[in-house]
Every structure is written in C-alpha cells, then in structure tokens.
Structure 1
C-alpha cells in the first residue's frame, strides 16, 4: 500500500515489513533517507519514520505487522539535546534503564548522530537476553560503519560467551567482559563508545549490579531512561558528572514474554544457520562451565561407593577441584563422601545445550548445540556452522531444539 506523510508527522512500523521511500525525505533514528531508499523491519521490532518535507512511501506488511501514524516527533527533544552533547564531547556512554524503555533505540539514534559528524563509533552490546549484535547469551562489540536502523545488522568483531540469558547469577562476569570490551574499543581509537545494557533494575541485587557496573566501567556519560522514578535508587548511588535522565519515548514498543522469546530465537537462528555435525574427541578440547574435565578419573573404590549410594551405574566419575563451579545443572549430595560434596547429573541432560566455541587463542568462533556426549568412547557431537579448529567448549544453560528455545537448565 502507498502512504503519504505531511511534514513533522511520524509513521511507526511494527515488523515484519518492507518500506520504500518514493518521494520526499524522512528521518529514521537520526539518519536522513532519500527517495528509493528501502527499509526492512524485522518481526518484533518497531521503527519510527518521521517525514521532513512531505513524503510518499510504499509499505509492504508481513504477517501480524502493523502501522500507525502520529503527530508527534519520532525522537524527543531531550534525546536530541543529550545526543548533541555526547557527540560533541565524545567518550564512553553507558545506557541504563528498565525493560522496554528505549535503551537500544537511543543507542541507535546516538550512533547515527555520531556518524553524521564523521566520528568512529563502536557499540558494545551488554544485554544477554536481548542481544542484538551477537547471539543471545553473549556480550559483543561491533564497529558502526554506516547508518543503521537496527543493532542486529552490526557485525560482531569480538564476542564473549556467557551461556545464560539473565545477568542475575553472572553479574561479575558480565561487568568484567564489558570492561574488557571497552578496552578493545579504546584500542580501536573509537571517538564514541556506546554501551547498551540489560533491563534488570528492580531488585536490590540488580541495583548493586548496575551501580558496580558504572564504577568498574567508568563511563564519561551515564544515560538513565525512565518512565517514572524507577532509576532513582541507582542514580543516587552514582556520584559523577555526566549523568543524564531521559524520559521514555512514546514511540517505544512494550514487548511481552513471547516477543522477547521471538527476538532471541531470531538471534539463535542467525548464528546457527548452516550448521553441520562435528565430532570432537574430548581429550583434544578443554570443556568449561560444565564441572567435568575428563582429566582426573576418581579411584575405582570411590566410584563403586558412589554407585552403591545412588543405586545405579555411573557413566563417568571424577574428582574435581573444590573451587570448580559447574554451570550444567547437577544435584548435590552433601557430605556423602569423606566430608566432601558430590555432584551428579542424569545422562543425556546435555543434549540440546547451547555452547560457545573458542579457538586456541580463546577467541569466540561461533555457537553450537550439543547433540551427543559419549562418555564411554570419549567424544562429543556438536551442531555448529563454525569451521575453525575448536580448542575450548563452554557449556551454556539454554536448551534449543531446531533453533527454538525449549528450556533453561
């Protein structure tokens, strides 16, 4: 269908949709588009299109896609003012706020405004559950080389696999990875580093996590986006200059659990596309976050004691360092063996688990899903598009089936 927009009016598109600008000029998240420009909006995302001088657009909507025309500007004046300040002074901008407040939208707008000033821009994606640059369960860095409407289009240049979609149990790991990614961005001589974050802010643990994040990352600017005063406690803990409070844009879409799941699954499928089955000998790789390393088998008498206690045979039994923290779910038998804890899990629980694959330099080379872990023959089968040699396998806690999230273990 064809739509006409008068100057100053905004068209919001909820994907999936394709929009072609036929006449006039429009601004999309800080970037000016001219006739014959084409915009793709993926399912689960909302893009605002503001007419600058009277526009004519062709809009092709996919299944369940919608559009709305409103009189308001796409970007609030306060967002424009803060973006102008940041792109003038440059440095590192950390974006905070709850879920569905517009953090990623502001990041996109800020990146485009910086590009319009010929700045070198790096975006760090710090949202495990709603990752855009890398796949869900990861933290990534990407260089913005051209105007964007969706961080999903940025190519990741460095990625850390964390293996879970919530930071609640891995806050220290997330902060450490973000700090390292900031150093990488500085080494790229970026004029502006933009750090997008997750929406976990409500509990005391969450507030401590965000306060520690600000302290450890040491950004030049902290942008807090809030609807009421949900960021008040966090902001009171931040004693620094360069803190800006922005209101939620009316253009921001509120997403439900199903929308969030849909966006995660888009990310999984994107990064697992073209997977083939690879068989890996366990002795040739290091396995992390699993609690099993196949390097130190336990004495036979202890294995028999364990089997007698459980009333079944053990496929694999080993003694591990006391400080090892298994990420794969295991049941603990407290003080059952010489006053030590014993962890055990059922055979087959690892099938479908998402894993991060690293090369010999510990560089992330891709995602995979475990198809089989054979303790007797000492091999593992993983479905992955990665072609490089695998040296480290990091086990996550998300289970997938044909690209669909079927559980968190």
Structure 2
C-alpha cells in the first residue's frame, strides 16, 4: 500500500513489515534512507521513519504488523543534546568509550544506533559492542559481539559481528564474570583497530542489589568515559549514583518505544538463532581432534577394568560410559537407567571424588560455539549427540572450515532455532 506522510512527522512501523521510500526524504535514527533500498522491520521491532520532506512510502505489512503517524520527532531532545556533546568530545579525546544502560525496552539499542549514525555522519570511526546476551543484535543470542561500522545503519541486527565471545546463556545472572571478561577482551580488540568512538550496549538487568553490583563492576572494569542511562523516572538511580569515574548523562526513555512481552523477546531471539544457523548441516568430530570447552567431557581417561567393577558394584547398574579426571568421575547412564541417590553417595565416599551423572541423549540440542585456532569466533551450532564409545560428537552448524574449539552452552534449541529450555548438567 502507498502511504504519504508530511514533513515534520514520524512514521512508526511495527514489524513484520517492509518499507520502500518512493519519494521525499526520511531518516531512521539519523540514518538517511535511499530510494530503492527496501527496509525490513522485524517481528517484534518498531522503526521510526522521521520525515524530512514530504514522502511517499510503499509498505507491506505481515501478520500483526501496523503503522501510525505521529507529530514531530520521536527522538527526545535530551538525546540530541547528549549525542552532540559526546560527538564533540570524541573528536578531541579518542578513543572515547560510552556505555549505555537501561531496563528492558527502554530504548538502549535505539540510542546506540542513533549515536553511531550521528558519529558516522561526522566521519568518526565507530565500534559498537553488544553486551545484551538475551536480545543481542550483533552476534547470536548467548554471545556478546562487536562490529566496526563503516556506514549508517537502520537496525543493528543487519550488521555482521566482526568477532564475538560465547557465554552460552541468554541471561547474565549466573555468568557475570564471564560477561565482564568477554566485554573487556572485545574492548581491547576494538581499541587495537583504532576506533574513535566505542559504544557498549548492556543488558536490561537493572533491578535489585545483584544487578546494581554487576553494572558497577562493568563500569569499574571497562572504564567508560561516559555512561548514558535511559529511564522514565528514577529506576537507574541506585546504579548511576554509584558511578564516580565517568561522566553520567541521564536521558529519557522515548514514549514511542514499544514494550515487548517475554514471548515477543523469545521470538526475536529465535529469529537471530535462525539467521546464524542458515545453511547448517550435520558434521562429526572426534573429540581428540578438537578442543572441547564448557564441559568436563573429554578431559579425563577411561577407568581401569578393576575400577569399573568397583563402580558397577556400588551403583548397582552398568554405566554406558565412564571418564575419570583427578577430581571428578563422569558417569553416563543409558536413556532409561536410574541410580538411587544413596548409591551415588556411597560411590563418592569410596573413591573420594565428585560424581557427575549424565544420561545418554541429554546433550542433544545444546547450543555450541565454534572458534578457530586463534580463538576467533566462527559461529554457532547445535549439538546433535555424543557417541561416547567412539568419543565423537555431531554438530549441526553452517561453519565448515577452521574449527579448532567447540564450547558447549546451556541453552537448548531445535534445528529451526526455537528454544527448548536450559540444561546445566554438562557445565564444568
């Protein structure tokens, strides 16, 4: 359908939809729109098309999509003021690091995109590090990634990650140290690439003492020059008031930001998984050929026959597979096998080691990351199964070459990228 919009208004489009500019001038978060370049608005996302001169659009709406016109710009005035001051400082103090904070659906990604686009139009070299595990745009969910931007963008999801760190979860609560270490590594990397402005987006976990402690640790470790907090009232006060070594801007969370429920955020994650699994096929690897991380499997040796007789006698069942490290005994049971808890305790007391029990097939569906010999992120895959006796693994992944390290995560997916839950039994 054709839609005409007057200059000075903003066209808000909720996906899934596609938008073509037929005439006039418009911008999305300071990114100019070119005629002939179709813009896709993802399911669960909203893009603001700010009309600079009378414009005509061709819009195609998918199921549940919509659009509306609003007067003026949806970009708050204090965004414009803060961004202009940040750009001015970045021109004289490089590299300048800016960290963005806010609760879920507060406009963090929109602010990052707007800041990046204004900086690019001012000829600055911009890097965006996406530290939001659950709603990551740069890199798949369960990772933190970065990209050096060489042109304006309407949606950071359209940007490919230059590198990423795999965390294996979509929430930072139990992985704060890993996230901080990963962000530190990526920040050092973009500094070596001579970025003039480094924008670090963070996750929406801000409520409570643990969240505040985590965010303040991020600031202490990454040492941003500027922290921008997006809030509607004072929901970030307990965090921002504790920041002492960075300039703090408090800006508004835009009224036009669309709030998404848990299901919508899940759908967005699944679209992202699907993007990074496109073209995947099943590949097999001997565990001895690769470096297996995130699990104790592959780290030990097969127990002696005498040891196996002792294990079987105490358990009262024959394990499908066993592996022993200096401190741990790994026991893999058949799919329908079960061992009483008291027998496991007896075995621990007898061998003086911690016992980890898996069941054959429990590993199927776990997300994995793939890295090359230099530790560079190559992509993700889905663990399809482990042949314990051959010590081989099967992975569904589009990555074909250069795989040196496979790291097992905790999120379970099917081959379409749909989330099936979380499994922690394989973690170290």
- What is the TM-score normalised by the length of structure 1? 0.94
Structure 2 gaps, min length 5:
91-95, 331-338, 424-428
CA contact (8 A) 2:300 2:325 kept: no
Question: What is residue 93 of structure 2 aligned with on the other side?
Answer: none
RMSD: 2.0
**Structure 2 contact 225–247 (Cα < 8 Å) conserved:** yes
Change over 3 Å in CA distance of 1:52–1:314 after alignment to 2: same
Show CA shifts across 1:309-367 (max 9, x none): 43322222222354999xxxxx9956444443211111110011111112222222121
Point out the more displaced range, 108-117 or 235-244.
235-244
Structure-2 separation of matches of 1:12 and 1:280: 48
Shift of 1:36: 4.2
C-alpha distance 71-349 of structure 1, shift in aligned 2 (>3 A):
same
Pick from 387, 392, 398: which aligns with 2:405? 392
Partner of 1:328: none
Deviations along 1:140-172, whole A, 9 cap, x unmatched? 111111111111111111111111111111101
> 3-state DSSP class of the match of 1:43?
coil
1:253-296 deviations in Å (ceiling 9; x for gaps): 11111111111111111111111111111111121111212542
Partner of 2:9 in structure 1?
A: 9
Equivalent-residue separation in structure 2 for 1:36 and 1:405 (angstroms): 36
1:80-132 alpha-carbon deviations (Å, 9 max, x no partner):
11111111111111111110001001001111000110111111111111111
Which of 364, 374, 395 is the matching residue for 1:351? 364
Equivalent-residue separation in structure 1 for 2:229 and 2:303 (angstroms)? 52
Alpha-carbon separation, structure 2, partners of 1:322 and 1:151: 45
Does 1:407 find its partner at 2:407?
no
Aligned length: 404
Distance 2:273 2:110 in 1: 21
Contact 1:12-1:48 at 8 Å conserved across structures: yes
What TM-score, normalized to structure 2? 0.90
Question: Quick check: 359-368 or 242-251, which moved more?
Answer: 359-368
Q: Give the equivalent residue in structure 2 for 1:365.
A: 378
Unaligned runs of 5+ in 1: 326-330
How far apart in 2 are the matches of 1:378 and 1:53?
64
Conserved 8 A contact 1:336-1:342: no
- Tell me if structure 2 keeps the 8 A contact 1:16–1:65: yes
Q: Does 2:263 match 1:255?
A: no
Provide the residue aligned with 1:239 in structure 2: 244
Instruction: State the distance in 2 between where 1:115 and 1:337 align.
Output: 65
Aligned partner of 2:311 among 306, 310, 319? 306
Q: Which residue, out of 220, 226, 237, partners 1:215?
A: 220
Aligned partners of 2:359 and 2:378: how far apart in 1?
Answer: 29
Which residue in the other structure is 1:64 paired with? 64
